[in-house]
Amino acid sequence: MHTYSPTIDVPLVDSNGTIIGYSEKMHVHREGLLHLAFSLMIIRQRPTGVEYLLQRRAEHKYHSGGLWTNTCCSHPLMNESINDAAQRRVNDELGIVTPLVFKNVAKILYYLPLDRGLVEHEYNHVLVAMVDDVEWSANVDEVMSVQWWSSQQIVRQLSAHPNTFTAWFPEVFRHVSEVTIESMS
């Protein structure tokens, strides 16, 4: 399993998402530099509705430790496509080796102050992958726990306890929840 070293360079982008250079990951987050990212949500259809596979970030992560978020999020490496990065990171974080089919449902730009004096200033590709089911084995260096959530559970938790989620999650969830299962086929 590839572990995500904080010394990795991430792609810097302009406001259109065009790569303009690379810089060290921690520097980018300390300075709030606009960089390329993706947020992946794995979903499945159940008789009661759509379920979303969420992860709770490991407590010791460099930011947002212990918070719930979408299935996987990260940055592509140099010369790596968004889809290849998503497949690599979902394997690194959750041990999911099943090849996934990604649908890019949105591109969002945000500037979000985080804990530890860091900032997420991202041009974020929101990806969805639909599965019948999927097996995972959480990497304890990355993830505390993994769980399927119904949209009702997410909405209730976002309303009652929004601080249990990462800063970017509400916007990602909004875009993902607008996706219909039919559009994924």
Q: What is the rounded distance in angstroms from the CA atom of residue 67 to the CA atom of residue 59?
A: 8
Return the active site residues. 73, 122
pLDDT tens digits along 141-171: 999 999 999 999 999 999 999 999 999 999 9
The pLDDT score that the predictor gives to residue 185 is 57
Contact in structure between 57 and 64 (CB atoms under 8 Å): yes
> Is the per-residue pLDDT at 138 higher than 60?
yes
Q: Name the binding residues for Mn(2+).
A: 29, 35, 75, 120, 122
Q: Tell me the torsion sign for CA atoms 134, 140, 141, 142.
A: positive
> Is the per-residue pLDDT at 2 higher than 80?
no
Would the pTM count as exceeding 0.85? Answer: yes
> Is the per-residue pLDDT at 76 higher than 90?
yes
Q: Name the binding residues.
A: 29, 35, 75, 93, 120, 122
Q: Which residue segments constitute the domains of the chain, with CATH numbers given?
A: 9-184 (3.90.79.10)
Q: With bands split at pLDDT 50, 70 and 90, how would you rate the model's confidence at 178?
A: confident
> In whole angstroms, how far apart are CA 121 and each of 29, 67, 78, 133, 170?
8, 18, 19, 33, 16
Region for 7 from its dihedrals, namely left if φ exceeds 0, alpha if ψ lies in -120 to 50, beta otherwise = alpha
Pairing of strands 68-69, 49-57: antiparallel
The pLDDT score that the predictor gives to residue 100 is 97
